[in-house]
């Protein structure tokens, strides 16, 4: 019994026993290597504050991705998808071809053009949960689990989840363990090796 317990605990004398060490899968979070110079990332890569934007550390390779954010403190903010070419020091985002973003005022911008707008009575407020779906063609917005039916498209290339803040805004990103169930067919962001 003792020898079986010792082997289970990794104390076997035979180092070539054929056991394979399992790797822990990486966690999707905000990427401190791809953020604006005045951005602060805390809470294990989930909270953004300061001024500027930040990409997540995983591109959206899968067909249908979903992620959320909770508005902890209102101000100037935005959420959407962006390429690594996006200027993360420029606020608000959506001024160029490298970001497609819902802004705090309910407008969705890409390439300095308003692509869509949330209904006037549905502007996100402090404490609200904003969900984002992306299927490589269009981005859709959900507010507290409800589809806002305001799709937007136009961005090209490899995109990443993206958020920006200014004027005292604080956002918490959820890349798993969502507040609301993702829409049918959409799921949390997977790293490329998790897809195959």
Question: What's the rounded Cα separation, in Å, for the pair 194 and 192?
Answer: 5
pLDDT above 90: percentage of residues in the chain = 83
Supply the pLDDT for residue 192: 75
**Torsion sign across C-alpha atoms 39, 42, 45, 48:** negative
Nearby residues of 113 by Cβ (< 8 Å), 6 or more positions away: none
Q: For residue 111, which phi and psi values (nearest 5 degrees)?
A: 55, 40
pTM summary value: 0.86
Per-residue pLDDT of 41-60, as tens digits, reads 999 999 999 999 999 999 99
* Average pLDDT, integer, range 108-128: 96
Taking 50 as the threshold, does the pLDDT of residue 10 lie above it? no
For the chain, what is the radius of gyration of the CA atoms? 20
Question: What's the rounded Cα separation, in Å, for the pair 158 and 98?
Answer: 10
| Residue 82 pLDDT grade (very low, low, confident, very high; cuts 50, 70, 90) | very high
Q: E strand or H helix at 6, and its extent?
A: helix 2-8
Per-residue pLDDT of 92-105, as tens digits, reads 999 999 999 999 99
CB neighbours of residue 51 within 10 Å: 19
Question: What's the rounded Cα separation, in Å, for the pair 83 and 100?
Answer: 9
| Residue 7 pLDDT grade (very low, low, confident, very high; cuts 50, 70, 90) | very low
pLDDT above 70: percentage of residues in the chain = 86
Residue with the larger pLDDT of the pair 78 and 23: 78
| Residue 191 pLDDT grade (very low, low, confident, very high; cuts 50, 70, 90) | confident
Supply the pLDDT for residue 11: 45
């Amino acid at each position: 019994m003792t020898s079986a317990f010792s082997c289970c605990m990794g104390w076997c004398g035979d180092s070539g026993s054929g056991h394979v060490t399992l790797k822990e899968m990486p966690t999707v979070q905000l990427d401190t290597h791809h953020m604006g110079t005045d951005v602060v990332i805390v809470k294990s890569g989930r909270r953004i504050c300061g001024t500027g934007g930040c990409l997540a550390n995983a591109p959206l390779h899968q067909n249908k991705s979903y992620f959320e954010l909770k508005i902890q403190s209102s101000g100037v903010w935005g959420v959407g998808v962006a390429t690594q070419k996006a200027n993360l020091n420029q606020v608000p985002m959506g001024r160029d071809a490298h970001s497609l973003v819902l802004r705090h005022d309910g407008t969705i911008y890409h390439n300095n053009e308003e692509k869509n707008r949330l209904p006037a009575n549905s502007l996100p407020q402090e404490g609200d949960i904003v969900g984002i779906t992306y299927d490589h063609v269009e981005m859709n917005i959900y507010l507290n689990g409800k589809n806002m039916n305001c799709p937007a498209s136009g961005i090209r290339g490899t995109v990443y989840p993206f958020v920006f803040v200014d004027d005292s805004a604080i956002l918490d990103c959820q890349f798993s363990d969502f507040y609301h169930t993702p829409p049918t067919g959409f799921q949390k962001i997977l790293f490329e090796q998790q897809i195959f």
